[in-house]
Amino acid sequence: MMAPFFKYGLFGDQTSLVVAFFIGIGFGFFLERAGLASARKLMAQFYLTDLAVFKVMFTSIITAMLGLTYLSWLGWLDLSLVYLVPTYLMPQVVGGLVLGAGFVTGGYCPGTSVAATATGRVDGLVSILGITFGMFVFAEAFPLVKGFYLSGAGEAMTIPKAFGLPYGLVVFAVVLMALGGFYGAGILEKKIAARSGE
Amino acid sequence: MTTTTGDRRPQAYTNPYLAGIGLGLVLLSSFVLVGRGLGASGAFNSVIAWAVNAVAPAHARSNEFIAGYLGDGSASPLKSWLVFEVIGVFAGAMLSGLLAGRTKVMTEKGPRVSVRMRLAMAFAGGILMAFGAALARGCTSGQALTGGALLNLGSWVFMMMVFAGAYAVAYFVRWQWR
């Protein structure tokens, strides 16, 4: 039996929606467990008082990345069937900057605003309303931004493919980078705690 | 850090590395089961497509961005993978919050800002994020987290830019939290 199961026809569209709901439950559960349904906890990342956002995010990335890599090496999963969002470099550079600015302005990102609303945060709900309104405005303004939106190659592109590097080497480098980051985050948190404790 | 009011003490948050492993395994099971990762902002696009199509179907069809979420029109745009997943996110976070005694109707803010001002900022931030996510074809979940694990080039560039944009603006909006 090969993964991804859905792509190999193990279940159909209807079932995939049920699967989506349960995967969402897991996603929301761990976001809340980690404290990422709280704007103050999320924003602490950007004032360097608590780096949980970085730690959670990079631990998840390396966990899923290593899982995928090993399953693919064992021949149990066809990595080429896992959907890659196409790369449009400039729109993604600008989109990232704008989303980052919106993140610290509003206190949540789209996913965490949903988790925040679920735990009673009124600002989370208002953030959802803002995203919905913004998405409507973007859609209506689409003819004006279409040129920029479509600028770039628009192909599925991975870092190993783009730089001609072996996949395993990039995986290894990302793990090392994350471990270095975790070590640095620990030192930074201690330093800042010591300074604010004075 | 956590302030406790009322009679029930909220539980402390889970260790970030443990929660991260849990989240990573959820992401991995999404890859294995369906061949795609997590997401959030795409669900908002589907809701907008549904709403505009309900009010002005011809107008919705003529807009390329919206039409992309309508498909061939045989199924409701709300019957999308991300809409169901995001409903799950709501349910999962609610479950976790209730189990830990962390659910409380409140507005998260620092002591020096009014609730009204804080909510205005949350709304403004939401608008910015919608534009960012639409341009980038995903948000922190669909791009940074999912694409990060897939070594997607555009996702890694996006992720660096999210941190850059957030750190660049953080100083100017710090009054919300202090």
Give the gap in angstroms from C-alpha A71 to the nearest C-alpha of chain B: 9
B134-152 confidence digits (pLDDT tens): 999 999 999 999 999 999 9
Residue B4: what pLDDT? 47
The DSSP bridge partners found for residue A87 are: A155
By Cβ distance, the residue of A6, A85, A110 closest to B34 is A6
Residue A6: what pLDDT? 94
Q: Which residue of B has its CA nearest to A25?
A: B92
User: For residue B141, what is the DSSP state?
Assistant: I
Residue B136 forms contact with A (CB below 8 Å): yes
Residue B50: what pLDDT? 96
Residue B86 forms contact with A (CB below 8 Å): yes
Mean pLDDT, range A63-75, rounded to an integer: 97
Residue A178 forms contact with B (CB below 8 Å): no
The DSSP bridge partners found for residue A158 are: B152
Residue A14: what pLDDT? 94
Q: Which of residues 143-162 of B touch A (CB under 8 A)?
A: 143-162
Mean pLDDT, range B93-119, rounded to an integer: 97
* Contact across the interface for A117 and B149, Cβ inside 8 Å: no
Mean pLDDT, range A175-192, rounded to an integer: 96
pLDDT confidence tier of residue A196, bands split at 50, 70 and 90:
confident
Q: What is the Cβ-side half-sphere exposure of residue A9, based on CA atoms within 13 angstroms?
A: 0
Residue A124: what pLDDT? 98
Q: Of B93 and B8, which is predicted with more confidence? A: B93
Widest CA span in chain B: 56
B141's tokens? 């979940």
Q: Tell me the angle at which helices A122-140 and B115-136 cross, rounded to the nearest 10 degrees.
A: 40
A93's tokens? 């550079």
B64-98 confidence digits (pLDDT tens): 999 999 988 888 999 999 999 999 999 999 999 99
Mean pLDDT, range A108-112, rounded to an integer: 97
pLDDT confidence tier of residue A173, bands split at 50, 70 and 90:
very high
Residues contacting residue A87 through CB under 8 Å, at least 6 positions apart: A152, A153, A154, A155, A156, A157, B152, B153, B154, B157
pLDDT confidence tier of residue B9, bands split at 50, 70 and 90:
confident
Mean pLDDT, range A1-9, rounded to an integer: 90
Contact A105, B171 (CB under 8 A): no
pLDDT confidence tier of residue A198, bands split at 50, 70 and 90:
low
Question: A18, A22, A32, A45: best mutation site toward chain B, by most B Cβ within 10 Å?
Answer: A32
Q: Which of residues 86-125 of A touch B (CB under 8 A)?
A: 86-89, 91-124
Residue B71: what pLDDT? 86
Residue B7: what pLDDT? 53
For chain A, the average pLDDT equals 96
Contact B90, A28 (CB under 8 A): yes
Residues contacting residue A70 through CB under 8 Å, at least 6 positions apart: none
**Over the Cα atoms of chain A, what is R_g?**
20
A115-172 confidence digits (pLDDT tens): 999 999 999 999 999 999 999 999 999 999 999 999 998 999 999 999 999 999 999 9
Residue A89: what pLDDT? 97
Which ipTM value was assigned to this complex? 0.96
pLDDT confidence tier of residue B14, bands split at 50, 70 and 90:
very high
Residue B1: what pLDDT? 47
For chain B, the average pLDDT equals 94
pLDDT confidence tier of residue B154, bands split at 50, 70 and 90:
very high
Residue A195: what pLDDT? 86
